[in-house]
Amino acid sequence: MTSLLEHPRGAAPGQPGDRSAFSFEQHVRLPDSPTGKGRGGARYGRTGIIHTPHGDIKTPAFVPVATQAAMKAVLPEQMTQLGAQCLLSNAFHLFERPGPDVLDKAGGLAKFMNWDGPTFTDSGGFQVMSLGVGFKKTLAMDVTGMKSDDVIAKGHDRLAFVDEDGVTFKSPLNGSLHRFSAEISMGIQHQLGADIMFAFDELTTLMNTRRYQEESVERTFRWAKRCVAEHQRLTAGRLGRPYQALYGVVQGANYEDLRRRASAQISSLDFDGVGIGGAMEKRIIGDICAWICDEMPEERPRHVLGIAAVDDIFACAENGGDTFDCVAPARCGRNGAIFTRDGRYNIKRAANKYDFGPLEEGCTCYTCTHYSRAYVDHLLRSHEMNGFTLATIHNEHFFVTLLDEIRASIDGGYFDEYRGETLARFYANGSRG
């Protein structure tokens, strides 16, 4: 079998990347329903395959986050073994360290980290704009009781400033001043060499005024046009490299008219797919996906950026999300929070000290088939690295498998039943996440 890591599709010496190496093939779509949130009761949830130069992604799919070209405490080989199809890294972090030219010289993100599969990079906008500001790391949030001041973390100054052309910010690593813009983000992401990249957009919070959200949607549209132009220029000039797909990002917070307008604007440009981004209130996360899908061509794949919880994944998958990235499994795992079919529990409970069973009864992951709760509990209490590894493997496997099962349920025509049973069981004990 040819390693796509060494020979990505659509790359030929002396030639620009061949765009036909990236495409989306739709398989089964959920039937319309009286409760469907799309126009005329449409439900946009579907199965399919995203073909990329470094391999295929069967969708809906979970995308683990390898922030700095690494899953914390878990090797890429182990990610493959647990069923992960693709990984997402952060352009901003890799821009700061080691620098995008290092990845370019290494042959791109996948080869640099020895991951034989598709990769994504975000635009860096989220990290740049949330510098020094206490933005939540995920998009779906419960804003009950939150005030505008709550978005600035105590004791922090705002380190990023948005203007018409881009964003100026202070590096959290060394305090030096940097600039991000549409062209700079595209340049960095082309050097990083992921299969799927995102256009540089402005991130707002749910606390911004309606007027600011409107201005921001228009500014994001202007930046999107510049991203497409720069992307095409770079694609034509960087010979011998595989084609990198570019997704436009739809903003508009909780406003239906803004989301629809932004979706139509982004869809009018020559993007390969769409990113559903920005702040969203949890209670309408499915509606927002449906509004966006109403206004865009069905043949483009859709990625939901920064998903937060199990019920959000179902809402987004039902309403058109094809891929979902989430930092929760790894971050929670390192803190001892273990995801199971019966909800989330903390392994550092006294009851687990003598529990020699697996983290989750019936789980087929490497951790559960080889190690006990008591041992993982001991490792995490002792801050042993292996504890991070074992907990992360189990949690990532939980989410990857959840999406595999959602995919099977759409193909098999039993999505509604599967969702009902899974959510009832997961939240039966008032579990978070």
Q: Residues binding Zn ion: what is the number (CB under 5 A)?
A: 5
Least Cβ distance, residue 221 to Zn ion (angstroms)? 44
Least Cβ distance, residue 364 to Zn ion (angstroms)? 7
376 touching Zn ion, by CB under 5 A:
no
CA 130 to CA 198: how far, in whole Å? 17
266 touching Zn ion, by CB under 5 A:
no
* One residue of 368, 391, 400, 410 binding Zn ion per CB under 5 A: 368
394 touching Zn ion, by CB under 5 A:
yes
Angle between helices 385-412 and 310-318 in degrees, nearest 10: 30
Give Cα separations from 345 to 160, 257, 311, 353, 364 (angstroms): 37, 40, 17, 14, 18
Catalytic residue among 104, 122, 294, 322: 122
Least Cβ distance, residue 426 to Zn ion (angstroms)? 15
* One residue of 228, 365, 391, 400 binding Zn ion per CB under 5 A: 365
Site map (CB under 5 A) of Zn ion, residues 322-361, x = contact: ----------------------------------------
Bridge partner list, 46? 29
Q: Which residue, among 325, 214, 229, 225, has the nearest Cα to 267 in the 3D structure?
A: 225
Q: Is 86 annotated as a binding residue?
A: no
CA atoms within 13 Å, Cβ hemisphere of 309: 20
74 touching Zn ion, by CB under 5 A:
no
Q: Is 326 annotated as a binding residue?
A: no
Judged on CB neighbours under 10 Å (0-12, 13-18, 19+), 163 is exposed
Give Cα separations from 273 to 168, 192, 293, 351, 401 (angstroms): 28, 19, 11, 47, 24
Q: Is 368 annotated as a binding residue?
A: yes
Residue appearing with tokens 């910010």: 169
Residues sharing a CB contact under 8 Å with residue 129, sequence separation 6 or more, in sequence order: 135, 160, 162, 167, 169, 202, 203
Which residue, 139 or 368, is less far from Zn ion as judged by CB?
368
Which one-letter amino acid corresponds to residue 25?
A: E
Q: Which stretch binds Zn ion (CB under 5 A): 134-142, 276-284, 339-347, 393-401?
A: 393-401
Catalytic residue among 104, 195, 325, 377: 325
Q: Is 365 annotated as a binding residue?
A: yes
- Positions in the binding site for Zn ion (CB under 5 A): 363, 365, 367-368, 394
What residues form the annotated binding site? 122-126, 201, 251, 278, 363, 365, 368, 394
Give catalytic residues, as residue numbers.
Answer: 122, 325
